[in-house]
Amino acid sequence: MNVNNNVNLKPFHTFGIDMPCDVLVEATTIEDIMAVYRNPEWESLPKLILGKGSNVLFTEPFHGVVIINQLLGKSITVEEDGILLTVSGGEDWPSLVEWSLEQGLSGLENLAMIPGCAGSAPIQNIGAYGVEFKDVCSYVDYVDLTTFKRVRLSAEECRFDYRDSIFKHELLGRVMIVEVGLKLPTTWAPTLTYGPLKADKDLLTTPREVFDLVCDIRGTKLPDPQVTGNAGSFFKNPIISSESFQTLQALYPELTGYPVTDGVKIAAGWLIDRCGLKGHQIGGAQVHPQQALVIVNVGEATATDILELAWFIKLAVKDKYGVELEHEVRFFDSQQETRLEAIFAQSQPFSH
């Protein structure tokens, strides 16, 4: 366990913004995690478990203990009804997907290049190109941070939903995910129903070809956080009622949607783009010129720059389309998780 005080979090989150924390712990074992929570010196301090920092924004200096999940290890078990891939929570997700293909396994190829670690994947129920984490999840193991008992949840018990799970609700701040079990097929069962994969489905005959195409698409559409600071898709694709969708489509015939259980899912990037916000900049924060769903750090952006730009986007989309955008990126203030609406609850609209 590596412990340091007054650490700049810039290298530990993909927005790459200068923001200090009081204590930073790099944990490589479950025992390290327990030691942090049992340390009497830190008992009263807020604690935040961080993976790759690919979906977070620190809005203020964090006056507590940030714990970096560095639990590593993975194994393959052949079972009667498929392949079980056992993965420790700190494993890098993009590397895991590529490694699985190298082992001759399929099922994760649509989820290529999603930044983050395996332990973060269930929290967000990550997804791309027609596949979500819940589709490959067998179980999630966590350590209860009060009792220090290890608990296993089935995929059903995780209550996965669109970019959501039980880990954002009842278990928020109470557990640390230490392992995930992924159930993969023994024979390839491709999912080629989404966007460009559907268009090229006749050419995609192997998992590797799907993986390569997904990587090519993501590499073209999304900025590399190692080059330009960002947290990927900033806003969720909103789900609106069928009636609201029909009303909007009558006004904007080019609007498309995907039917889901609760209504129709529409593209947040399309809404932002049609508000003319590609390239819009506040301070060092910018709406990416090629992908309106991404906010990038184009040069020494502050957290305030990003927050103001996100709020401006939210207000613009609400004003033009009557649609409420919800941020996918998780915000943390000096002590706990917060939301954009809470930060600007007393603020007036910006005029940027």
Nearest to 55 by CA among 127, 106, 129, 6: 127
163 given a catalytic annotation: yes
List Cβ neighbours of 55 (8 Å cut-off, separation of 6 or more).
115, 116, 120, 124, 231, 232, 328, 329, 330
Catalytic residue among 109, 132, 163, 308: 163
Instruction: Specify burial of residue 61 (Cβ count, 10 A radius: 0-12, 13-18, 19+).
Output: middle
Rg (CA), the chain: 20
- Secondary structure tally for the chain: helices H, strands E: 10, 21
Catalytic residue among 91, 132, 308, 328: 328
330 given a catalytic annotation: no
Nearest to 111 by CA among 217, 231, 239: 217
The secondary structure of 218-244, three-state, reads HHHHCCCCCCCEEEEECECCCEECHHH
159 given a catalytic annotation: no
Catalytic residue among 91, 233, 244, 308: 233
The pair of structure tokens assigned to 22 is 């009081």
Report the DSSP pairing between strands 137-144 and 175-184: antiparallel
The 10 Å CB-count burial string (b at 16+, else e) for 19-32 is bbbbbbbbbbebeb
Q: What distance in Å separates the CA atoms of residue 178 and residue 200, rounded to the nearest whole number?
A: 37
Residues marked active site are found at: 163, 233, 328
